[in-house]
Amino acid sequence: MPELTIIIPVYNEAENLLRVEKALVEYRAIATKTTAFLFVNDGSTDKSEKLISEICEHNIDFHFISFTKNYGLSAALKAGFDWVESPLLGYIDSDLQTTPEDFNLLLEYIDEYDLVTGVRTGRKDDFVKNVSSKVANGIRRLFTQDGMQDTGCPLKVIKTDYAKRIPMFNGLHRFLPAMILLQKGHVHQIPVRHFPRIGGEAKFGVWNRIFGPLSACFAYLWMRRNYIRFEVKKNS
Domain limits of the chain?
Answer: 4-226
CB neighbours of residue 169 within 10 Å: 15
Using the predicted structure, report yes or no on whether residue 94 has a pLDDT greater than 90.
yes
What distance in Å separates the CA atoms of residue 103 and residue 99, rounded to the nearest whole number? 8
Mean pLDDT of 99-117: 97
Report the mean per-residue pLDDT for the chain: 88
The pTM is what? 0.86
- Residue 204 is predicted with a pLDDT of 55
What integer pLDDT is reported at residue 70 of this predicted model?
Answer: 96
Distances (CA, A) of 72 to 16, 40, 150: 19, 11, 20
When pLDDT is cut at 50, 70 and 90, the band that residue 226 belongs to is confident
Determine the CATH number of domain 4-226.
Answer: 3.90.550.10
**The pLDDT value given to residue 225:** 82
The pLDDT, as a whole number, for residue 130 is 62
Q: What is the pLDDT of residue 201?
A: 67
Residue 214 pLDDT > 90 = no
Contacts of 41 (CB under 8 A, 6+ apart): 10, 11, 48, 49, 52, 64, 65, 66, 67
